[in-house]
Amino acid sequence: MNIWNMTKKDLVVFFRDRGALTWLFVLPLVFIFIFAGLGGRAMSGDSTSQEEKRTPLGVVNLDQSGATAQLFLKALDQAGGYRVVLYDQQNAEQLMNTAKLRRYLVIPPNFTPDLGQAKPVSLELIVHPNAGEQGTQSILQVINGVAHDTSLELQLLDGIRQMGEMQAANPQSEQIFQAEKVMAQAKAQFERSRGAPLIQVVQGLPQEPKEGELEQADLTQSMVPGITVLFVFLAAQTVARSIYEEKQAGSLRRLLAAPVRGWELMAGKLLPILILTLIQIVFIFAVGALLLPVLGIGRLGIGNDPLAWAVTSILMALCSTSLGILIAAIAKTEGQISGVSNVVLWVAGFLGGTLIPAFLLQQIPVLNFLSKLTPHFWASSAYYDILARGKGLADILPNLGILLGFAAVFFIIGQRRFRFE
């Protein structure tokens, strides 16, 4: 009850402070527009235009002169949902290495001749390790569908061709075109197409980047989750300052003399900032979802699992505000609060992959190790999985557990170490 009383009071005090309201709403807006504007299609990576709303699908066609390859590409382009964009192999590999292309399909050079001889061929979908699993499955489904249709068509045509050859080999036979035989042949070809399709799709990994070729981050894809985490961890400083201001004003002395337990007092200082941080997150995503598309900048989605997004946001805010309790216990002056907060915000934020994508840092063993010691890493990778890779709650449970652990450790140590003197 005391926690809620303290929370209500802090929220009322906060909402009467116009400067604080600016912090709550204007700063996130600036943040959204700067970073959304930077990326263009930053927010969800699925920027849309009036002319073309389909998602581009990269294709490397090594059978450029083959008629069947052309037919396949036309069918793929018309299948709906995806727009075929052709690349040459070198260009596609380069884009994949710099994470600017997440997936591309390779049509082998022998595609048309092999299919012409009813020989099975394999298409390879090259997928970047950081590409969203859901998006990959969706593309595979479309390619498989087109491949299946093409296989069936080719195998039926092949069956009819075989019957024509049989007719030619036995001109005196009149029974060969009986309807039952044609149907049986068509059915056999259909079954064969299902059981052993001529065109198969396999998933492949990109080639290792050549030595000296630095992998670059796709900033538009990785920036928003990282910056959102960085922004949420600003709340730690707000909690620490809130406690410090209460101490400076003398009201903390009165609270300590009231029948309020130590953990209740700290929770009462944590909860209002937690609520405000969540309001901020919702505000950021609401503006990203509703306003940015209107402005033609892009769209900030919450991934495919709203529950995963919500739980991650709550635990991230809890971790950040608990960190604020720890900072308040360690830092004795306003200057120390700023100093410690800046270290936490920028150093841990950097190591945690909020400014530079974690997969880049992971290439350096020391940084890879250090990054995992920061809550920012687990928060940003959870957000990244949800927002960019389309993963769900079950996929990010380890991250959530670690964030909860960080929050508990920060809160318990902070509460026990806190001294009024």
Binding site for other proteins (CB under 8 A): 1-2, 5-6, 9, 12-13, 16-17, 249-251, 253-261, 419-421
CB of 286 within 8 A of CB of 43?
no
Nearer to other proteins by C-beta: 181 or 253? 253
For other proteins, give the closer residue by CB, 19 or 212: 19
Give the DSSP H/E element, type plus range, for residue 314: helix 306-330
The residue whose two tokens read 């200082």 is: 269
Q: Are strands 103-107 and 121-127 parallel, antiparallel or unpaired?
A: antiparallel
Cβ nearer to other proteins, comparing 7 with 321? 7
Strands 121-127 and 199-204: parallel
Residue 109, C-beta contacts closer than 8 angstroms, at least 6 positions apart: 62, 63
Radius of gyration (C-alpha) of the chain in whole angstroms:
29
**Structure-token pair, residue 373:** 């010691």
d(CA 374, CA 376): 5
Q: How far is the CB of 7 from other proteins (least distance, A)?
A: 11
Residue 82's SS3 state is strand
How far apart are CB 12 and other proteins at their closest, in Å? Answer: 7
Identity of the residue, 262 or 401, whose beta carbon is nearer to other proteins in the bound complex: 262
Provide the minimum distance between the beta carbon of 408 and other proteins in the complex, in angstroms, as a whole number. 24
Residue 20 Cβ vs other proteins, minimum distance, rounded to whole Å: 10
DSSP secondary structure of 174-217: SSTT-HHHHHHHHHHHHHHHHHS-SEEEEEEPPPPPPTT-----
3-class DSSP state of 85:
strand
Least distance to other proteins, CB of residue 270, Å: 17
The residue among 12 and 408 lying less far from other proteins, judged by its C-beta, is: 12
Q: Which is nearer to other proteins, 194 or 254 (CB)?
A: 254
Nearer to other proteins by Cβ, of 46 and 245: the residue is 245
Give me the least distance between CB of 335 and other proteins, in Å please.
21
CA–CA gap between residue 119 and residue 116 (Å, rounded): 7
Phi and psi, residue 88, nearest 5°: -85, 160
72/114 Cα distance (integer angstroms): 14
Query: To the nearest whole angstrom, how small is the minimum distance from the Cβ of residue 85 to other proteins?
Result: 57
Cβ nearer to other proteins, comparing 257 with 394 = 257
Q: How far is the CB of 23 from other proteins (least distance, A)?
A: 16
The Cβ-side half-sphere exposure at 136, using a 13 Å CA radius, reads 22
**Do 298 and 44 touch, CB atoms closer than 8 A?**
yes
Phi, psi of 302 (to 5 degrees): -115, 20
- Name the residue nearer to other proteins (CB basis): 167 or 248: 248
Residue 207: φ, ψ to 5°: -70, 150
CB 264 within 8 A of CB 2: yes
Q: In what order do the strands lie in the sheet with 103-107?
A: 82-86, 55-61, 103-107, 121-127, 199-204
Looking at the Cβ atoms of 5 and 216, the one nearer to other proteins is 5
CB of 16 to other proteins, least distance (A): 5
Angle, alpha carbons 58-60-64 (nearest 5°):
130
Minimum CB distance to other proteins, residue 251 (Å): 4
At 2, list the tokens: 């005391």
